[in-house]
Amino acid sequence: MAVLETVMGAFSVWVDANWFNLIQTLGIVGGLWFTASSASREAKAKEVENLLTLAEHHQELWKGVAQRKDLARVFRSDVDALSTSPSIAENVFLNSVIVHFQTGWWIARSGGITNLEELKTDARSFFSLPLPRAVWEKTKATRNPRFVRFVELALKNPCKPSNVVGV
């Protein structure tokens, strides 16, 4: 019992001498914990916001594509891109799709909402089609070199092109 009284007495003396430092330290630690907790919640909210924005852009990009006759050749695998180059409408659309792919790639690389393997499969399927491939080859020099490397690696694993309306 005497040891406990001695320890409690020493603790009481220490608290009397250092109460301000103790309160200050608890305030700083609590503030840091609150900041970390807020930053985590904000990061999750930003991820959801990114998902919603990407989904909105995705819907806007693909809305009505099936009804647009001027884009019908984009999804055909039997088009000869060497004899008939892409039209202005096809170029504009395909460049928008490439930018959309690159945005998804950036988000996937940052650990976001999609994973790189799924994106690689989509890229391989889409850029294996003749018109998307022709626009890609013509414009890839202006794209982010890492994104170009990603698409080129995806294309090295050939797959049968399909109708990829939901890229």
pLDDT band at 162 (very low <50, low <70, confident <90, very high): very low
**Residue closest to 131 by CA, chosen among 80, 67, 63, 64:** 80
Cα gap 151→156, rounded to integer Å: 9
Q: Is pLDDT at 164 greater than 50 in this prediction?
A: no
Per-state percent for the chain, helix, strand, coil, to nearest 5 = 75, 0, 25
- Residue identified by tokens 């890492």 is 146
Higher model confidence: residue 106 or residue 145? 145
pLDDT band at 158 (very low <50, low <70, confident <90, very high): low
User: What does the pLDDT average to over 11-39?
Assistant: 86
Specify the DSSP class assigned to residue 114.
S
- pLDDT given for residue 155 in this prediction: 92
With beta carbons less than 8 A apart as the criterion, state whether 101 and 123 touch: yes
Instruction: Give me the chain's average pLDDT, please.
Output: 85
Q: At 77, list the tokens.
A: 């695998």
Question: Exposed (0-12), middle (13-18) or buried (19+): which is 86, by Cβ within 10 Å?
Answer: buried
Higher model confidence: residue 118 or residue 94? 94
Condensed to tens digits (0 to 9), the pLDDT of residues 102-134 reads: 988 988 887 766 778 888 999 999 999 999 999
Condensed to tens digits (0 to 9), the pLDDT of residues 47-92 reads: 778 778 878 888 888 887 878 889 989 999 998 877 888 999 999 9
- pLDDT given for residue 81 in this prediction: 78
